[in-house]
Structure 1
Amino acid sequence: MKTISLPLFANYFDGTRASMTQCSSLTSRSLISPMAGTARFRNTNTHGPTPNGPMPNKGTRPRPMDAAEGSIVINAPVSDVYKRWLAFEDYPKFITVIKRVRKLDANHFVASLRFNGKQYETTLEMMLRVQDRRLAWRTFSQGRTPTHLATGVVSFLSHRDRMTRITFKLTSSFGGAVARRVDEYLRNFKRLIEKQARPRISV
């Protein structure tokens, strides 16, 4: 098992569930995926930066952070599912706000995002990698662009009959319906990997 992490950020991910449930505004709902996956969501809105996120400049107001969590069952082995989430350059295929990803080094990427009609250039940084078990990253923009932050944590659990349950936690300062976006991204990923996993029939 291979693991890389930054200790402070890893502590945040380990405590994500606790920090989410302590918020004053908390709603939860569940739905059954028509594609044999079960998605569960938890929504919060916290007015302030996430732990270990960039601190606001003096005199500026912290951006609200929205969070949601969902899970779905994928008809593919856990090793295959993990490898696809590790391929950041493929994120535009299922995370619709990401339009392009360019690799800088092993743990850093430049991601072009389009959200609410606006274009953003962000740094995507891998913060945690536990082979076939967990993956965590964050995006942020700096310089003249207003600072935006998003963090993602994906957990992988081997399911029956060579299937995989993935749980995706997304925290974002971009606003919008985060739970709906988590649902959309999970369903897109399920379609992507299961379509590619189908055996081709020769004629």
Structure 2
Amino acid sequence: MTTTLTAEIDVNAPVSTVYNQWTQFESFPHYLGAVKSVTQVDDVRTHWKVSIGGREEEFFADIVDQVPDDHISWQSTDGAFHAGRVEFVPRAHEDGHAETLVKLRMEWEPQGILETIGGALNIDSAQAKKDLERFKKFIEERGAETGGWRGEVHGREETSPDL
């Protein structure tokens, strides 16, 4: 059985800044609670170390679709099934400043009783909301992204922004 979570948050920053920061996967441990490390292997492949319910796990995930300032979709390539999509929606704040709605959707196959219960009780969605709040705080306090990648990925095939 697959578990799905969704979460969203408004970030007081332009869509390009928010998107660029999200492409800095190695910074995820700063704001994603379960993530211990992410290593960028190449433009589409990442290696993850996470701790879920006190259990350490490692897996590879590939970006399957990515369009700058719009969305990033990924899927695990080994271990338990895990996939997700984050969307970036530009909006104008009521005071005229740029704002971005970040919409997260993740799906996975629970491994063990803790993950199954967590999904059933929506604990995972609450954790995702907290993670997005930490991301919001990280980017808003910095006032700028730590880097960015502007290439596109379609069907796990990278298209360099220079081409």
TM score, norm. by length of structure 2: 0.74
Per-residue displacement from partner, 1:100-155 (whole Å, max 9, x unpaired)? 111211110111111111111110211110110111112353xxxxx312212111
Give % identity.
23
1:172 is the counterpart of 2:143: no
- The whole-number CA distance in structure 2 between the counterparts of 1:90 and 1:191 is 14
Query: Residue 24 of structure 2 aligns with which residue?
Result: 87
Deviation of residue 184 (structure 1)? 1.4
Number of aligned residues? 130
* Structure 1 residue runs without a partner (length 5+): 1-63, 142-146, 199-203
Query: Residue 147 of structure 2 aligns with which residue?
Result: none
- The whole-number CA distance in structure 2 between the counterparts of 1:116 and 1:68 is 17
Amino acid at match of 1:166: V
- Find 1:151's aligned residue among 79, 83, 87: 83
Give RMSD over aligned pairs. Answer: 1.5
* Structure 2 residue runs without a partner (length 5+): 145-163
Per-residue displacement from partner, 1:46-105 (whole Å, max 9, x unpaired)? xxxxxxxxxxxxxxxxxx211121211100000000011111111111111110111211
Q: Is the 8 A contact 1:170 1:182 kept in 2?
A: no
Amino acid at match of 1:188: R
1:127 is the counterpart of 2:73: no
1:189 is the counterpart of 2:121: no
With CA pairs under 8 Å and 6+ residues apart, which has the higher RCO, 1 or 2? 2
- The whole-number CA distance in structure 1 between the counterparts of 2:13 and 2:138 is 11
Name which one, 1 or 2, has greater alpha-carbon Rg: 1
Amino acid at match of 2:2: M
Q: Evaluate the alpha carbon distance shift between residue 105 and residue 122 of structure 1 in structure 2; reply closer, same or farther with a 3 A threshold.
A: same
Question: Counterpart of 2:69 in 1: which secondary structure?
Answer: coil
1:64-143 equivalence runs, <5 A: 64-141=1-78
